[in-house]
Structures are given as structure tokens and as C-alpha cells.
């Protein structure tokens, strides 16, 4: 393929005209995504009553009716009446043998454990805290405000911290970069802000105490020094690295933020809207199918 540099001057001049048209297309595309954001905000208000009902069922604030609980699973369709009755009796026997659980215990912590992207963040000491997570909500920025979304993690009263809600705000940009307009591919997350967690004394899992032995250079005596150092924890999610005004980050901070943006986007786009399917694992299978299809399409030259 001939390099554009070797095009005749008169042709290169016309190519430049096409590039200017492309820049205008990018700006129109940016307006399109702004309207998509407004539509998301509008429909979020329609979804919210359903998500609130989900939260009430999970937390045992509401007991669904028999009609609301009717669900015909695929495997049940193939069972005979006799097999269904036997399965029902066995289920009732199991229910009698254990305490009557309230709501859906450990709903959100199970969702986190089922999703690799989230379970990779979890440490053993995080799990008792996440059992108190009752809901995750997404709030979109108001009309006319800079594009952003907020993740709200709602907790029941617990022994670990006094906050009832932990928040993470993601600021977005939906306009072409003047220095590189052709790279525009829709809204991108530019920065994120966490919140202060008011830990109960001795319960902060993001810090750990270590003891080190130090030898005095002159006297040769040894003493034990206690230091508090950062500890791996999901709750570091609420203390992301700050993006400097010049936008320049060191390599480690950039890697942390890249992963953070991916997680925030995934929670907003997949976890909150389809939580029950990640709880049961059905959405995991769908995600795997999507990945397989992408690989297949890529191999066939069909990827976009």
C-alpha cells in the first residue's frame, strides 16, 4: 500500500479536506454520546423502582408474593410430575432442617466472588464487611452538568465503619481531543474520586501493623519497631490515586487507575443492571459466550 506521504501534492490537499470533515464528524459523534448520556439518565429513573424492589427483597424488607416468585426454569420443563413432586418434598425437608434465612443472605458478596474482575480485589479480611453490603446504586450527573456517574455502596449498620454509604464518582469527557481528534471513540473516564471511610478503631483493613527489628549502629543493641503500612483490600477502591492537573501519572498509578476505570464501568454497565444473574452465575456464562464469540469473529476477520 502506497504511503500517503508520496501522494501528489494536489491529492494530499484534498485528503486534508477529508480530514477536516472527519474532525467535524467526531464533534457530531460527541453530541450523539451526550444525548445517549441523557437517555441513560432518563431510563435510570425508570429502572430505579425495580432496583429498589430488588434491594427490599434482598434485605428482607419485602417478602415477594407467590405470584412474584413463580419462575419456570429450563430444566424443570423436562421433569415429570412425579419427579417434580419428589424434588419439592426434598426441598421442603432441607428447608425444615435449617433456620429460615431472611431475604437473600450474602447477595452482593456472592456477586463479587462470582466475577473475576471483582473477586481479584477481594481479600479474606474484606469478606465479613461485604456481607453487610445491601445495595449498589448508579447515579448520573444532572442535566447541564459535566458528564459523570456515581457508584453508591449502601451498607447496613456494622462494626467496621460508621458510614452507611460509600461513594465513588467518575468524571467523564465526551469531546475529541484537539491534539488528537481522530482517537475519539466515545466518552472516556478522565478521573475518579473516592470517599473517606470512618473506620471503627482497630477495624481498618486497608492498613496493617508490622514489627521490624532494628539494630543500633553504635551500641549494637536491637529494638523492635512497630510500623503501620498499607494493606491489600477491596476498600482501597475508595482511595484512588489523584490525577495531577497536568495529567501525568507514574506507571504504577496509571495501571491502578486503568484497572479502576474498567471496574467502575463494569459495575455500572453490567453488575448493577443484572445483579441477580451474576448472583446465580448465569451472567458469567453469557460473558464467557460473548468472549468466545469475539474470538471467533476476530479469527474470521469479522471484528470491528
Q: Cα separations (Å) of 66 from 69, 70, 71, 98?
A: 5, 6, 10, 21
> Which grid coordinates are listed for 72?
419456570
Q: What is the DSSP letter of 219?
A: T
Distance, CA of 303 to chain centre: 25
What is the pTM for the complete model shown? 0.79
- For each of the chain's 304 residues, which pLDDT tens digit applies? 445 468 889 999 999 999 999 999 999 998 898 888 889 999 999 999 999 999 999 999 999 999 999 987 655 445 566 666 666 666 666 555 566 889 999 999 999 999 999 999 999 999 999 999 999 999 998 888 888 999 999 999 999 999 999 999 999 887 888 788 888 777 888 889 999 999 999 999 999 988 887 776 666 677 777 888 899 999 999 999 887 766 677 788 888 888 999 999 999 999 999 999 999 999 887 665 554 444 434 333 333 3
In this structure, the number of other CB atoms found within 10 A of the CB of residue 234 comes to 20
SS3 percent helix, strand, coil of the chain, rounded to 5, is: 50, 15, 35
- The backbone torsions φ and ψ at residue 215, rounded to the nearest 5 degrees and listed phi first, read -105, 125
Q: What is the DSSP letter of 273?
A: T
> In angstroms, rounded to a whole number, what is the distance separating the alpha carbons of residues 151 and 170?
8
> In angstroms, rounded to a whole number, what is the distance separating the alpha carbons of residues 37 and 219?
67
pLDDT digits (tens, 9 = 90+) for 104-127: 999 999 999 999 999 999 999 999
CA dihedral 142, 144, 146, 149 (to 10 degrees): 20
Residue 269 and residue 136 in contact, taking contact as beta carbons nearer than 8 Å: no
Quote the pLDDT of residue 145: 85
Quote the pLDDT of residue 94: 58
Q: CA angle, corner 75, sides to 72 and 79, nearest 5?
A: 95
Burial 133-144 (b: 16+ CB within 10 A, else e): bbbbbbebbeee
Closest of 111, 103, 64, 50 to residue 280, by C-alpha? 111
Quote the pLDDT of residue 221: 74
Residue 110 and residue 131 in contact, taking contact as beta carbons nearer than 8 Å: no
Beta bridge partners of 240: none
Beta bridge partners of 169: 150, 193
> Which grid coordinates are listed for 112?
463479587
pLDDT digits (tens, 9 = 90+) for 261-284: 999 999 999 999 999 999 999 988
Q: What is the DSSP letter of 271?
A: I
Quote the pLDDT of residue 222: 76
Residue 151 and residue 138 in contact, taking contact as beta carbons nearer than 8 Å: yes
> Which grid coordinates are listed for 48?
430505579
Closest of 175, 128, 132, 174 to residue 153, by C-alpha? 132
Amino acid at each position: 500500500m502506497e504511503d500517503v506521504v508520496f501522494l501528489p501534492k494536489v491529492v494530499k490537499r484534498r485528503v486534508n479536506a477529508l480530514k477536516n470533515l472527519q474532525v467535524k464528524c467526531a464533534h457530531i459523534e460527541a453530541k450523539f454520546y451526550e444525548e445517549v448520556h441523557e437517555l441513560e439518565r432518563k431510563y435510570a429513573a425508570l429502572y430505579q423502582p425495580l432496583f429498589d424492589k430488588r434491594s427490599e427483597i434482598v434485605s428482607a424488607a419485602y417478602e415477594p408474593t407467590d405470584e412474584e416468585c413463580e419462575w419456570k426454569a429450563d430444566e424443570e420443563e423436562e421433569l415429570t410430575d412425579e419427579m417434580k413432586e419428589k424434588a419439592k418434598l426434598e426441598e421442603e425437608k432441607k428447608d425444615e432442617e435449617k433456620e429460615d434465612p431472611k431475604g437473600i443472605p450474602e447477595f452482593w458478596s456472592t456477586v463479587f466472588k462470582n466475577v473475576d474482575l471483582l473477586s481479584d480485589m477481594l481479600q479474606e479480611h474484606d469478606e465479613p464487611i461485604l456481607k453487610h453490603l445491601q445495595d449498589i446504586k448508579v447515579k448520573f450527573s444532572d442535566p447541564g452538568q459535566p458528564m459523570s456517574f456515581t457508584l453508591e455502596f449502601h451498607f447496613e449498620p456494622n462494626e467496621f465503619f460508621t458510614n452507611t454509604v460509600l461513594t465513588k464518582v467518575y468524571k467523564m469527557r465526551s469531546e475529541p481531543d484537539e491534539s488528537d481528534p481522530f482517537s475519539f471513540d466515545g466518552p472516556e473516564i478522565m478521573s475518579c474520586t473516592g470517599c473517606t471511610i470512618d473506620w471503627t478503631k482497630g477495624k481498618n483493613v486497608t492498613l496493617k501493623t508490622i514489627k521490624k527489628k532494628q539494630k543500633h549502629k553504635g551500641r549494637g543493641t536491637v529494638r523492635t519497631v512497630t510500623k503501620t503500612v498499607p494493606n491489600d483490600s477491596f476498600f482501597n477502591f475508595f482511595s484512588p490515586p489523584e490525577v495531577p492537573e497536568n495529567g501525568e501519572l507514574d506507571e504504577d498509578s496509571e495501571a491502578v487507575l486503568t484497572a479502576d476505570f474498567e471496574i467502575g464501568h463494569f459495575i455500572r454497565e453490567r453488575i448493577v443492571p443484572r445483579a441477580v444473574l451474576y448472583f446465580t452465575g448465569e451472567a458469567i456464562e453469557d460473558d464467557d459466550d460473548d468472549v468466545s464469540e469475539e474470538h471467533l469473529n476476530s479469527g474470521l476477520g469479522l471484528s470491528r
